[in-house]
Amino acid sequence: MELPNRWLNDIVWDDHGLVPVIAQDAATGDVLMFAFMNREALALTAERGEAVYWSRSRRKLWHKGEESGHTQKVLEIRTDCDNDVVLLKIEQTGGIACHTGRKSCFFQRLGESGQWEAADPVLKDPKEIYG
Amino acid sequence: MELPNRWLNDIVWDDHGLVPVIAQDAATGDVLMFAFMNREALALTAERGEAVYWSRSRRKLWHKGEESGHTQKVLEIRTDCDNDVVLLKIEQTGGIACHTGRKSCFFQRLGESGQWEAADPVLKDPKEIYG
């Protein structure tokens, strides 16, 4: 879809020109991952209907799934009351968002004993995903 | 609950000693808000079972709901694969997380016309909430 870019101006970018992004499974409501976008990444995400993030470690655009095949089809783009966070409602290709081979990156739960516990299973060996 | 604080050491705090936090409705899966915590805020959140954030604008601890009464009962604390984001599963008192009187802060949706649209209703007038 061809969108005028005015909506991008409404976003409050941080000092590094980035905005935090939450990706949520549109069907289940599961929060799958958290990453950042710059203006170009968000524009591309809207244009393609697939999530494109900004990799802070590699300092480049990161088309999610470019290596793993686990792309994210974007069904809805939201922002919050301060316009400084983006929420994507997505369809997660392969049902795996995390590089550990799990559905969601948020698989560690604080247990009663005061320790982080892996609460969700590995669905696919990362070695198989990334070869 | 009395927890040893080792789990707090596992969190990767940013340059300002903060970690981004996503609050999600435990029952509906709705993403309600996004904020930050410092170490003390996260420790208090676990201890009390109610969300305590760090207000970056006011530079102080912010017990969510201290003014509005819209506290957040914390049912689960999660972190992601990088240990640098926290996800809370909560029960939202009053069903209103946003200072605009809406269920969620993420009420603005990008419409087909390329403009942000308020997609969720105001449930209570903020003047009534904050007096």
Q: How far is CA B124 from the centre of its chain?
A: 19
Residue A21 lies in a domain: yes
Q: Cβ atoms within 10 A of the Cβ of A13, count?
A: 16
Instruction: Identify the pLDDT of residue A4.
Output: 62
**Chain A CB contacts of B80 below 8 Å:** 33-34, 105-108
Q: Which of B108, B76, B29 is nearest to A26 (CA)?
A: B29
Instruction: Identify the pLDDT of residue A3.
Output: 52
pTM of the model: 0.96
With CA atoms as reference, the chain B residue closest to A28 would be: B29
Is residue B37 within 8 angstroms of chain A, CB to CB?
no
Instruction: Identify the pLDDT of residue B131.
Output: 83
Residue A90 has pLDDT above 90, yes or no: yes
Is residue B7 within 8 angstroms of chain A, CB to CB?
yes
Instruction: Identify the pLDDT of residue B90.
Output: 98
Residue B37, C-beta contacts closer than 8 angstroms, at least 6 positions apart? B18, B19, B21, B45, B52, B53, B54, B86
Is residue A93 within 8 angstroms of chain B, CB to CB?
no
What is the CATH number for B109? 3.10.20.810
Residue A1 lies in a domain: no
Is residue A106 within 8 angstroms of chain B, CB to CB?
yes
Residue B1 lies in a domain: no
- Asked whether the beta carbons of A84 and A19 are under 8 A apart, the reply is yes
Which domain, by its residues, includes A95? 6-130
Instruction: Identify the pLDDT of residue B5.
Output: 83
With CA atoms as reference, the chain B residue closest to A34 would be: B85
Give the ipTM: 0.96
For B52-68, how does the pLDDT look when each residue is reduced to its tens digit (9 = 90+)? 999 999 999 999 999 99
With CA atoms as reference, the chain B residue closest to A88 would be: B109
For A31-56, how does the pLDDT look when each residue is reduced to its tens digit (9 = 90+)? 999 999 999 999 999 999 999 999 99
| Number of domains composing chain B | 1
